[in-house]
Structure 1
Amino acid sequence: MAEHLDSGKRAEELACQWLESKGYEFLEKNFRYKHAEIDLIMKHQGLLIFVEVKFRSGTGFGFAEEFVDYGKKKLIIKAADAYIHQIDWHQDIRFDIVGVYKDRHGNINFRHFEDAFY
């Protein structure tokens, strides 16, 4: 597997663990619908939360939220609609972005953007 894919999958695992430590309940990882994929699906305080995880080794090229463009958001929303229908969800939802950052010393930090788009 390519190194960037390995780091992306590892970032998803770390983000999931970090969110769980904050009281989020893990439901599903890498939910696919046609050409769309949702990295993490979590529940928290009665909300169904669709999480896009972005890994960055530093911020020289920008922050995580800057790399979720209109097309990506549209795909995530389409997949979320399919998931909502599949599980027959009738409560509120939210779309979040979690940035996983590795500094030059190898330390991992997180930035959580709640209600990042819709």
Structure 2
Amino acid sequence: MAEHNEKGKQAEEWAKDWLIGKGYEFLDANYRYKHAEIDLIFKFKGLLIFVEVKYRSGTGFGYAEEFVDYTKRKLIVKAADQYIHEKDWHHDIRFDIVGVYKDKNGNVNFRQFEDAFY
């Protein structure tokens, strides 16, 4: 596996643990539908939350939310529609982006963008 893929998977684990620590109920990871993938899926306060995780080793090239373009958002929504259908979900949903940032000292920080798109 390429190094950037390994970092991405590690960032997803960190984000998952961080969100669980905030009271989110973990449901699924790496849900795939055709060419689309949702990194993490949670329940929180009656919402079904689809989370895109983005790892950045710094902010010199921009923040995480800047790297989820229109095409990526469209694919995530398509996969979410399928997940909602499969689970027969009839309540509200939300799409979040969680940026995982590692500073020069190796500390990991998080930045959550709730209701980032739809």
TM-score interval, smaller chain: over 0.9
The runs of 4+ residues in structure 1 deviating greater than 4 Å are: none
Q: Which runs of 5+ in 2 are unaligned?
A: none
How many angstroms apart in 2 are the aligned matches of 1:109 and 1:90?
Answer: 34
Q: How does 1:25-64 map to 2 (within 5 A)?
A: 25-64=25-64
**1:8 — aligned with what?**
8
Number of matched residues?
Answer: 118
SS at match of 2:41: strand
TM value normalised by structure 1: 1.00
Q: How does 1:85-104 map to 2 (within 5 A)?
A: 85-104=85-104
Letter in 1 for 2:72: K
How many angstroms apart in 2 are the aligned matches of 1:69 and 1:25?
Answer: 27
TM value normalised by structure 2: 1.00
1:31-79 Cα shifts (integer Å, max 9, x gaps): 0000000000000000000000000000000000000000000000000
CA-atom RMSD in angstroms = 0.2
How many angstroms apart in 1 are the aligned matches of 2:27 and 2:61?
Answer: 32
Letter in 2 for 1:90: H
Q: Which runs of 5+ in 1 are unaligned?
A: none
